[in-house]
Structures are given as structure tokens and as C-alpha cells.
Amino acid sequence: MSVLALENVGKSFGPVTVLHGIDIALEPGEVHALIGENGAGKSTIMKLLGGFLDPTSGQVLLDGRPVRFASGPEAEAQGIVVIHQEFNLARDLTVAANVFLGREPGGWRLDHAAMRQATAALLKRLDSPISPDALVGDLSVPDRQMVEIAKALSRNARVLIMDEPSAVLTHREVGALYAQIEGLRAEGVAVLYCSHRLDEVAHLADRITVLRDGRVVRRALRGELTQDGMATAMVGRELQDFYPPKGRPGDEIALEVRGLSVPGRVHDVSLSLRRGEVLGLAGLVGSGRTELAEGIAGLRPASGEIRIDGRPVGIRSAGDGFANGLAYLTEDRKEAGLLLEKPLRENLTLAALERFGRWRIDRPAEEAALDRATQDFDIRAPRRDMVAGKLSGGNQQKLLLAKTMLTDPRILIIDEPTRGIDVGTKSQIYAFIRQLAGQGLSVMVISSEMPEVIGLADRVLVMREGRLAGELQGAALTEDNIVRLAMGVSEAA
Amino acid sequence: MRKIDFHTLGPLIALIALVVLGASLNSAFLAPANITNVLARSAFIGMIAVGMTFVITAGGLDLSVGSMAAFLAGITIIAMNVLVPNLGTHWGTILIGMGVAVLGGLAAGYLNGALVTKARIEPFIVTLGTMGIFRSLVTWLADGGTLSLDYALRTLYRPVYYGGIGWITWPIICFALVALLGEWMMRHSRFGRHVEAIGSNDRVARYSAIDVNRVRLLTYVLLGLLVGLAVVLYVPRLGSASGSTGVLWELEAIAAVIIGGTALKGGRGRVWGTVMGVLILSLIDNILNLANLVSPYLNGAIQGVIIVLAVVLQREKHAAGER
């Protein structure tokens, strides 16, 4: 019998119905993958299962009996644990204190030793080197994810609901995560796994449910659906031309970097980028890709020489970069890219405000720019005056791209262009990037998704531990070769 | 028609309600003399609060403005008294005094801003420190007593506070200009947009090529300038300054900003709201003095309730918008 299930569940927010007649059952000892484009209803289903929302119609069944959780913590008391995409950690507390937050052992006095010991054991089970005494604020993002997982494990979960758990993990850590999920499955835990990475789904899931527009459109068992099949089911159409055809870069060198170092992160990197070229930058998370890009764009102190169109330039701030026609599009669109509480218009023009009037900001011109941007980049906003934070991830990314393009760059560095974005929007963004390159822009794409780098880039540089490990193009541009370079298995491709 | 937007309309509704209440309690309330009095007395806090709106919107805070005003008033009076024997009782002397107040304000604001942006110290700590320093300096300059402006000069200077165009006195005119200009800057200038962006998320601002430190520094300099301007208008009112000048002005200014709907955590600035907030606070004071309903000693308590209430009303609107 299924441990937790939704039976004919519908959910409406005001006049908007987001789920229609959903049936989904989580079986003990089974990994159930839930996939769908952004806005398909995945997070609503997770919230319903996790006790954060009540269904409008239908019911939630726990061990076959209808239940109504008053809150997330009440569901957690029943062994239903949700790991959210956004972390729920107190930055200024230690790892151990976070793992036991709200359920500290001991009476009036905190039992530090017991918390530390239990946390150490959990982290060891996860094969993670994190110290229980480390402050969460000092940890890297993947390490924080590991702490979240340890925290969930400490709850003795019967049902574990994971929202994009691997989005921020490195290759090795994803391996540890898989091992852990397989271990939990063997212990009889029911796992609901939401991910945009279809290769993970194919690898992990015993059962797959595909959502589209708030309805279940496909159910499959392990092996019944190929990754292509999943993507097709999610989008509802064939995904031909997922990657646009590659272009023909020019010969002139637009950007040349010589001996660039960012203290402690990047060591002596030299590279060149040609006009109209899409250059991929691959490597593990933490290999210094973002730091290299931020060093070039003036967002981090860096030493070395940068030439644009053969002219040496000094770039010490994002403004210097824009003035020289170089723009960096951040990987962290929520914290460094967009003002989530501000309307679309103010976000769009923020980096290029001086183009909208010398003293008085020309609002009609801003509105016109927003019209153009929504059209050019197909930004789908339910309301024109809404705040950026209410857009879906894909539309946020398009808005960020539009905002960056408003600075008129000739060299564009895009960091993780499709992180947390659904399949349909991904292919749109690939097309935009290729189109920009076709117009003569030079684009550098940093990505952790290898199919993306391979499908999109004309040439790929691989970084390892802050240095360039190698360059790949043509027939040598394979996942296998990238991994070898990124992991340092072989020096030459 | 949508629901009433408490963010923008709330302070205005409260203000109208207070005017109606005041008029119904005492017929003297709407007399031109009383209105002039209320507005002129609001002008000092008002101009400072407009500057404070920018500082808070950019994610900062300035606790030093009250002490800064006292200190600036002190050095302005000293400067003019020193110049009287040489230059005589003359408008030139007064103009130099005004220059001292304004330049001193710019310098004091720059000091606060530089400590926040260059030395990277929390604004609360920086301005708590300078608050003590300015307060102590003026007390020391006055030797624990009162600094008084030369009597003849005071007579010459008086019209700057009491004079004006008809019943609209100069402080009211200055306050109105500052408010209009402030509102325009917040809504329509690049500076205002950058201030809001920085308060909303300074990392996004930096990645968007905004010179975060420069803009932050400028908000403190602007506030210092407005404190200097307020002092220019304040000195002719009493012609003196002491260790107790401008006490709690910083909190009144911050309260007015908050009542007006500006978020204390930054990112959303409402200059009009601040003007409403200032007027609401002075009207309460005025009504309590005119009507024998409640003891004027309870003024602070009522203002406190208004502040808390304003924030609660705004938050409920906010929470409703989230859903």
C-alpha cells in the first residue's frame, strides 16, 4: 500500500486552477520522479504532499487514510520531510545546530556533544567531509545542500520529497546523493524526486510521472521512457532542433585574456574569444569558472591583461565592462541578477539607465523598451506591472538576458544560462544565444550541463582547480573528454 | 476599482482625518496663524526627514541628525558672533553663517557616509558614534550652557524664520521645495532609482554597474546638506543653541519616514509619505495642545501608537499581496 498519495486532487488559487484531478501514489522503497516544465504544477504537488497547502478538491491519503495536515511541521512529525530548493538553514549557526534546529536533544541545557556526534555520523553516512562545528554561512552552496539532506535524514523520514536536490551539487557530490537515495530506497523510504536533469531521472527513478499544465500526461516505470521521450511528454511536442545549428565564427579576436589570476581562485588563465563565436567554459562546480568570468568583468579583484579588439583595457567594475562593450550575466539571478521586489520595467533598464534620459528618466521610453524586450525575448508576464520575483524561472532568465542586452555588449559572458529552467525555455535561450552570435557578438557560455556546452559551443575550454585544463573542439568535443579534463584524468584529449 | 492601497493612501487618509478632528475640536485650529505655526515647526524635521528617506531607502540609517543640527547651530552662532566685530551687523555676516551651516552639514554627512562606505562600518554604529560626538561637541562649545547669537544680529536674522510671502513663511516655502525636489528625485531621477535598487539588493545593483558606495555616500551627504538647511532656518527662531537643541529629532525624522510607508529595511522610498508622516506627527502635537481632551504629556504615547499602527497596516497589505 502506498504510504502517501494524492487522490483526484485539484488545487485552485482564487480563480486560477493549477492542478486538475491529480493521482499520484508514493510507494515505500521506491524513487518516484516528478517531472514537468516550470509552471506545470510540480511545486504545488510537493507543497500538498508536504502539508504546506490543502487541496481544493480530492484528498491526501496517508497510509490509505485521508489526512489534513495543519502545517509542514505536522507533516514532518508524521515522517514526511521536504527538502526545498531554497535552503532552510540559519547561516550563523553551526551545522550541528542546524541539523537539530527545533528538536534539540537535552532538557534545558543543550546537549552539544550528542548533537555533534549524531551530526558527524549523518555526514559520514553521506560521505561528506563537512565538520559539524562549521558555520553554515561559511560553507559552499553544495555543502549547504548536503547539510539539508543530513537534516532530512535526521528526521527519520518515511517520505522524502526533494526539489531539484542536485542543481547545485558537484559531480562527486551527485554521486554521493545517488548512493544516499539508493540507500534510503533500500531502507523502505518513499522518495519523490523533482529534477530538470532528465539523465538523473532516467538513472534514479523507479516510476516517473510527467506533468503538463497541471495534469498528469504520462506515467511510466523504469526503462519505459527515454530522456527524449520524457522531454517530449513534458513539452507536448517533438523537440527537434533542441540545439540550434552551429555558426561560423569570424577570425578577428574580440577578447583576449592573458595571465588572468583571481587571488586564491584562478591562476594564470589565458584565452581568446573570436567575433561571432560561442565559447563554452566547462569544469566542475568550484573549478573557478565563475570567478574567472567575474574577474574578467571587473566584479572581483584580478590581475592580468585584458584586450578588447586588440586594445588593452582596464576593467575594475561592471560599469567599466559595459563601457568597453563587455557584459557578464550572472549565474545567481535571484541574488545578483534581478531585483525581485521591483517591477519588470525597473529591472530591465537598471543597468542602462543613463540611456533613458540625462536628468529625468524617460518613462515612456522605458515602457517602449519593455515592449520590445518582451517581444524580442518572448517574456511571458501575466501582468505588465508585476514584480520580477513573481515571474517563472525561465521568464526571469529571459528578463535578465534582455536587461543585459540593453547595455549593448559586443562580448557577452553568460554563466549557467539555463539553471532551473524548463526544457521549452532552454531551447529558446539556446536559440537566442546562437542568434546573438550570428549578429556578430562574441559569447562565452559557462555551464555545468555537459550536453549544453557540447550542443551550443563552437569550442570548449575546460577548467580544473582554477587553471585551464584544456581545449576541445570538433570531433574531440565529447562528454567523455570534458569529464577527463575536468577531473584531471588525462592531460590531453 | 481595486482595494485601497494603504501604502500610498494610508498616510493621506490619516492626515485628512486629523485635520477634520482638529477642526471639529477647536475652531482656532484652522486659523491661518495656527496652520502657519504647525507647518513652520514641521519644516525642520520635515527637511531632515526627506533626507532620511533617501538614507533609509538605500538601506542605511542616520541617528546623528539631531546632534548634528545642534552642533551646526552651535558653530553657526559662534562663527557669526566672531564676525560681528569685524563685519558688523550685516546680511553678509548672516550669509557667511548660513554658509557655515550648509558646508558643515555637507562635511558632517560626508563623515557619516565615508565611515559607512569606506571604513565599512554598520550605519547604526557609525551614526550612534557621531551622534555622541556632535552632542558632546556642542555641549563643550557652549560650556554646558547656551550659545546665544549677538542680539542685534538676531533681530536682523529673525525674518528668515518669521517672515515670508504673506502667511506662508520661509521655512514652509523651503520645506515645500525640498519635498517637491525630493519626490522628483526619488521618482524620476537616476539617483532615486539607484537608491531604491541598492536598498532592494546591493549585489544586484553592483552587478548592474551602479557605483554602490558612491550612491550610498551621496545619501548621507544629501541628508547632511538638508540638516544644514534646517539649521539655517532654525537659528533665527530662538537665536541660540545648547546641549539640548535638536534632542530626539533623529527619532522623529525616522518615525515620519516609517509612517510614510518607506520600508526600514530599504528598497522602497516614499517622499510624499514622509511629508505626510511629518505633518501627522506635528498635527497630533498641535491638536493635543489646542483641545483639552487628552493631556499634552501623552503626546509621545499617541505618536508611538501611530507609528506601530502604521507599520502593522502596511504589513497586512503586504501580506495580502503575497497570497
Give the single-character DSSP code of B29: G
Amino acid at A154: S
Q: What is the pLDDT of residue B292?
A: 78
Q: Which residues of B touch A350 (CB under 8 A)?
A: 193, 197, 204-205, 208, 210
d(CA B296, CA B282): 12
Cβ–Cβ of A336/B204 closer than 8 Å?
yes
Q: Binning pLDDT at 50, 70 and 90, where does residue A9 land? A: very high
DSSP string, A218-232: EEEETTSS-HHHHHH
Structural domains in chain B (count): 1
Give me the helix-helix angle, B123-141 and B65-87, nearest 10°: 40
Question: Residue A248, Cα to own-chain centre: how many angstroms?
Answer: 30
Cβ–Cβ of B208/A403 closer than 8 Å?
yes
Ranges of chain B whose pLDDT falls below 50: 1-2, 318-323
Q: What is the pLDDT of residue A154?
A: 86
d(CA A242, CA A277): 19
d(CA A26, CA A194): 13
d(CA B277, CA B290): 20
d(CA A374, CA A381): 8
pLDDT in tens, A72-87: 788 888 889 888 877 7
DSSP 3-state of A169 = coil
Nearest chain A residue to B197 by CA: give it.
A339
Q: Is residue B231 part of a domain?
A: yes
CA distance B257 to chain A (A): 20
Cell of B84: 560681528
Contact A317/B at CB under 8 A: yes
pLDDT in tens, B240-283: 999 999 999 999 999 999 999 998 899 999 999 999 999 999 99
Nearest chain A residue to B323 by CA: give it.
A13
Return the higher-pLDDT residue of A127 and B168: B168
d(CA A400, CA A377): 10
Nearest of B212, B218, B194, B206 to residue B269 by alpha carbon:
B194
Find the DSSP H helices in B158-208.
Answer: 159-162, 170-188, 190-200, 202-207
Cβ–Cβ of A361/B204 closer than 8 Å?
no
Residue A487's alpha-carbon distances to A149, B121, B122, in angstroms, are: 25, 42, 43
**Please, which residues 407-446 of chain A have a Cβ atom closer than 8 Å to chain B?**
407
Cell of A280: 563554452
Cβ–Cβ of A339/B204 closer than 8 Å?
yes
Residue B110's alpha-carbon distances to B155, B198, B205, B260, in angstroms, are: 33, 18, 22, 26
CATH number at residue B87: 1.10.3470
Nearest of B67, B102, B36, B10 to residue B253 by alpha carbon:
B67
Contact A405/B at CB under 8 A: no
Cβ–Cβ of B194/A403 closer than 8 Å?
no
Contact A430, A456 (CB under 8 A): yes
Question: Which residues lie across from B146 on neighbouring strands?
Answer: B242
Q: Which residues of A touch B269 (CB under 8 A)?
A: none
DSSP string, A426-492: HHHHHHHHHHHHHTT-EEEEE-S-HHHHHHH-SEEEEEETTEEEEEEEGGG--HHHHHHHHHTS-S-
d(CA A322, CA A342): 22
d(CA A437, CA A440): 5
What chain A holds in terms of domains, given with CATH numbers, is 4-235 (3.40.50.300), 253-487 (3.40.50.300)
- What is the rounded average pLDDT for all residues in chain A? 88
Whether A228 shows a pLDDT value over 70: the answer reads yes
**Contacts for A229-237: CB closer than 8 Å, 24+ residues apart:** A230/A35, A230/A198, A230/A201, A230/A202, A231/A198, A231/A423, A234/A35, A234/A36, A234/A37, A234/A40, A234/A210, A234/A422, A234/A423, A234/A424, A235/A37, A235/A423, A235/A424, A236/A212
CB nearest B200 (choices: A318, A341, A360): A341
Find the DSSP H helices in A324-362.
Answer: 344-349
Cβ–Cβ of B207/A340 closer than 8 Å?
no
Cβ–Cβ of B208/A361 closer than 8 Å?
no
**Please, which residues 195-224 of chain A have a Cβ atom closer than 8 Å to chain B?**
none
Give, in degrees to the nearest 5, the angle at Cα A161 between A156 and A165: 105
d(CA B251, CA B25): 28
Question: Which residues lie across from A262 on neighbouring strands?
Answer: A266
Which of B5, B194, B195, B208 should we substitute to test contact with A (largest number of A Cβ atoms within 10 Å)?
A: B208
Return the higher-pLDDT residue of B142 and A88: B142
Which of B189, B204, B213 should we substitute to test contact with A (largest number of A Cβ atoms within 10 Å)?
A: B204
Q: What is the pLDDT of residue B233?
A: 95
Residue B242's alpha-carbon distances to A204, B47, B97, B129, B148, in angstroms, are: 76, 21, 17, 19, 9
Nearest chain B residue to A319 by CA: give it.
B209
Contact A308, A297 (CB under 8 A): no
Amino acid at A429: I
A272-301 average pLDDT score: 93
Neighbours of B33 (CB within 10 A): 9
DSSP 3-state of A182 = helix
d(CA A460, CA A476): 10
Q: Binning pLDDT at 50, 70 and 90, where does residue A490 land? A: low
Q: Binning pLDDT at 50, 70 and 90, where does residue A240 land? A: low
Which of A350, A355, A401 should we substitute to test contact with B (largest number of B Cβ atoms within 10 Å)?
A: A350
Cβ–Cβ of A353/B267 closer than 8 Å?
no
Beta pairing class for A31-36 and A207-212: parallel
Q: Which residues of A touch B211 (CB under 8 A)?
A: 317, 319
Nearest chain B residue to A338 by CA: give it.
B204
CA distance A360 to chain B (A): 5
Cβ–Cβ of B207/A359 closer than 8 Å?
no
d(CA B23, CA B38): 14
d(CA A50, CA A62): 11
Q: Is residue B177 part of a domain?
A: yes
pLDDT in tens, A24-40: 999 999 999 999 876 68
Cβ–Cβ of A339/B188 closer than 8 Å?
no
d(CA A269, CA A267): 6
**For residue A5, how many C-alpha atoms fall within 13 Å in the half-sphere facing its CB?**
16
Cβ–Cβ of B207/A330 closer than 8 Å?
yes
d(CA A375, CA A342): 20
CA distance B218 to chain A (A): 16
Nearest of A433, A425, A79 to residue A279 by alpha carbon:
A433
- What is the rounded average pLDDT for all residues in chain B? 91
Compute the residue count for chain B.
323
DSSP 3-state of A106 = coil
Beta pairing class for A16-26 and A4-13: antiparallel
Question: Which residues lie across from B240 on neighbouring strands?
Answer: B148
SS3 content of chain A, % helix, strand, coil (to 5): 35, 25, 40
Cell of A52: 504546506
Contact A409, A441 (CB under 8 A): yes
Look up the ipTM and state it: 0.86
Q: Is residue B310 part of a domain?
A: yes
CA distance B76 to chain A (A): 33
Cβ–Cβ of B197/A337 closer than 8 Å?
no
Cβ–Cβ of B207/A337 closer than 8 Å?
yes
Cβ–Cβ of A350/B206 closer than 8 Å?
no
Cβ–Cβ of B197/A350 closer than 8 Å?
yes
Q: What is the pLDDT of residue A24?
A: 94
Nearest of B205, B201, B204 to residue B214 by alpha carbon:
B205
Which of A11, A333, A339 should we substitute to test contact with B (largest number of B Cβ atoms within 10 Å)?
A: A339
A84-96 average pLDDT score: 85
Amino acid at A210: V
**For residue B310, how many C-alpha atoms fall within 13 Å in the half-sphere facing its CB?**
31
Residue A170's alpha-carbon distances to A86, A137, A176, B142, in angstroms, are: 17, 19, 10, 66
Contacts with B27 (C-beta within 8 Å, 6 or more apart), sequence order: none
Looking up cell 549585489 gives B203
Q: Is residue B78 part of a domain?
A: yes
Whether A421 shows a pLDDT value over 60: the answer reads yes
CB nearest A337 (choices: B189, B200, B204): B204
Give the single-character DSSP code of A135: B
Q: What are phi and psi of A32, to 5 degrees?
A: -110, 120
Cβ–Cβ of A350/B188 closer than 8 Å?
no
DSSP 3-state of B193 = helix
Q: Which residues of A touch B206 (CB under 8 A)?
A: 299, 317-318, 336
Quick one: CA dihedral A251, A252, A254, A257, positive or negative? Answer: positive
Cβ–Cβ of B193/A299 closer than 8 Å?
no
Q: Is residue B1 part of a domain?
A: no
Cβ–Cβ of A351/B190 closer than 8 Å?
no
d(CA A280, CA A461): 6
Q: Is residue B256 part of a domain?
A: yes
Contact A92/B at CB under 8 A: no
pLDDT in tens, A356-381: 988 899 999 999 999 999 999 999 88
Q: What is the pLDDT of residue B5?
A: 60
Could you tell me the residue range of the domain that residue B81 belongs to? 6-322
